[in-house]
Amino acid sequence: MRVLVIEDDEGLGNEVAGGLRAAGFAVDLAHRLADADLKISVNTYDCLVVDRGMPDGDGLQLVAAHRAGGERVPVLMLTARDGLADRIAGFEHGADDYLVKPFALSELVARVRALCRRREHPVSARIMLGDIDIDLPRRRVQRGGILRSLTPKEFAVLELLATRAGTVVSRSELIECCWDEMAEPASNVVDAVIAQLRRKLGGPPVIETVRGTGFLIGAEPFVP
């Protein structure tokens, strides 16, 4: 899943981005609203984390403008403004959640994950693919009842393929959704992660390479 963090404080922005990346998210950073607006226009995000007090305006106005344009990406407002009127204004302008500074990084990660899950998955957020059990909230994968240890990036790739089971996912889509803007699309990074996933999941193989197109998990998912 790919997240855009819009925060003018470079230190805090890097801390938030680092925490989200450690949790398996691909993260882009914007330190000005104009930069954020450009990134949103050219990339697809699963969640926006938006500071209100930006050098070139109020982050809430960015959210309101994109909501007016039909953009439905979930938004977590991140701000020092903790008054009731501020929180109400945030929700009225299109925010989905509101976290006041200072905050615990673990709570921010949990809230972002919940917003992404609400957008992409059913409430149970658990997918069964044959004998593979993917527990999305706990980031756990079992096959045949045996826990498989995946890195955050491997889990992110498996999650995307599983939620689109029966559909070919291209390398460019995987890069777009599971890596941030610092990734090198021309590299073999996707193939390396797919190879590791196949090895860790074991046989019979469930991830198929569709030559010249991308990758496919063919089994129909069961979401309890």
- Give the 3-state secondary structure of residue 62: helix
- 224 inside domain: no
Mean pLDDT for the stretch of residues 97-105 = 88
Task: Check whether residue 146 and residue 102 sit in a common domain.
Answer: no
Total count of domains within the chain:
2
Domain holding 43, by residue range, is: 2-120
> Which one-letter DSSP state was computed for residue 203?
S
- 107 inside domain: yes
Distance CA 141, CA 135 (A): 6
Distance CA 217, CA 169 (A): 9
- 223 inside domain: no
- Determine contact, residues 24/180, Cβ cutoff 8 Å: no
Mean pLDDT for the stretch of residues 119-133 = 71
Residues paired with residue 50 on neighbouring β-strands, in sequence order: 6, 77
Query: Where is the domain boundary, 95, 120, 145?
Result: 120
- 66 inside domain: yes
Q: CATH number, domain at 142? A: 1.10.10.10
Task: Check whether residue 115 and residue 11 sit in a common domain.
Answer: yes
Q: What is the pLDDT of residue 117?
A: 74
Residues paired with residue 215 on neighbouring β-strands, in sequence order: 169, 209
Per the prediction, the chain carries an average pLDDT of 85
- 222 inside domain: no
Task: Check whether residue 134 and residue 102 sit in a common domain.
Answer: no
Task: Check whether residue 111 and residue 193 sit in a common domain.
Answer: no
Task: Check whether residue 45 and residue 9 sit in a common domain.
Answer: yes
Task: Check whether residue 114 and residue 130 sit in a common domain.
Answer: no
Structure tokens at 17: 């981005």
* Predicted confidence (pLDDT) at residue 50 exceeds the cutoff of 70: yes
Residue bearing tokens 């890596």: 179
CA atoms within 13 A on the CB side of 208: 11
Q: What is the pLDDT of residue 223?
A: 47
Distance CA 176, CA 174 (A): 5
Please indicate, yes or no, whether the overall pTM of this predicted structure exceeds 0.75: no
Task: Check whether residue 6 and residue 43 sit in a common domain.
Answer: yes
Task: Check whether residue 199 and residue 163 sit in a common domain.
Answer: yes
